[in-house]
Structure 1
Amino acid sequence: MMLVAIMAACASEMFAAGNGLAGINEATSLVTGYFDPGTKLIYAIGAVVGLIGGVKVYSKWSSGDPDTTKTAASWFGACIFLIVAATILRSFFL
């Protein structure tokens, strides 16, 4: 009788583990479904940052500001960081 009770307890734990595994797999598929739109969004943000940076650098350059190279490096560095970070995150998680 005791052996039957132990087997029933083990069987219920195995069913619970199967349901947990299914939940983890479902959560993984949901999260990976957001990576394509997320990376495209980050690429779009990088493009907007690059355009804004280009306008800022051009306005500083045409006005003769001596701080143009620092501004160019910071804006385009931010743009490159966004693109590289999105690519690395995508390759790391997928």
Structure 2
Amino acid sequence: MRTRQYFLVSGFLFLLLASSESIAQSPPGVSEFNTVENDMEKFYVAFSRLSFVVGAVSGLLGGLRVYNNWQMGRHHIDVQVISWFGACLFLSTIGLFLSGLFGVPLP
């Protein structure tokens, strides 16, 4: 009688574990989370690249503005050079920060 209960309990536990493993493989909502994760990664790649492009354009415009002021005879352009360089450095750092924060590889 004791062995029969042992086999019955062990069989029940085996079926319970086998069914719980199949349920745990695909809980509800996992595919939706994976889809959202892929979409967010695409957005952060775009934002990282956009910040690099905006930094490059800002640097070009700042360089042209400083060159124009230098050619017009305004030789006190130290503040302008520092501010434009700081803006370009900030935008580049934001691009690196976004790519590092969200694990997005740089292009």
TM-score (norm 1): 0.71
Identity of aligned pairs, percent? 30
Deviations 1:42-94 (A, max 9, x none): 21111110000001111112223254010111111101110111011101111
The answer on 1:79 being equivalent to 2:88 is yes
Unmatched runs of 5 consecutive residues or more in structure 2 = 1-19
**What root-mean-square deviation, in Å, do the aligned CA atoms of Structure 1 and Structure 2 show?**
2.3
Query: How many residue pairs align between the two structures?
Result: 81
- What is the DSSP-based 3-state SS (H/G/I as helix, E as strand, rest coil) of the residue aligned with 2:74? coil
2:31 to 7, 17, 22: 22
2:64 to 55, 58, 62: 55
1:42 to 51, 63, 66: 51
Query: Which has a greater percent of helix?
Result: 1
Unmatched runs of 5 consecutive residues or more in structure 1 = 1-10
Deviations 1:24-51 (A, max 9, x none): 2221111102233322222111111000
Greater Rg by CA: 2
**Aligned position for 2:97:** 88
TM-score (norm 2): 0.64
Supply the distance in 2 between the matched residues of 1:58 and 1:66 (Cα, whole angstroms).
10
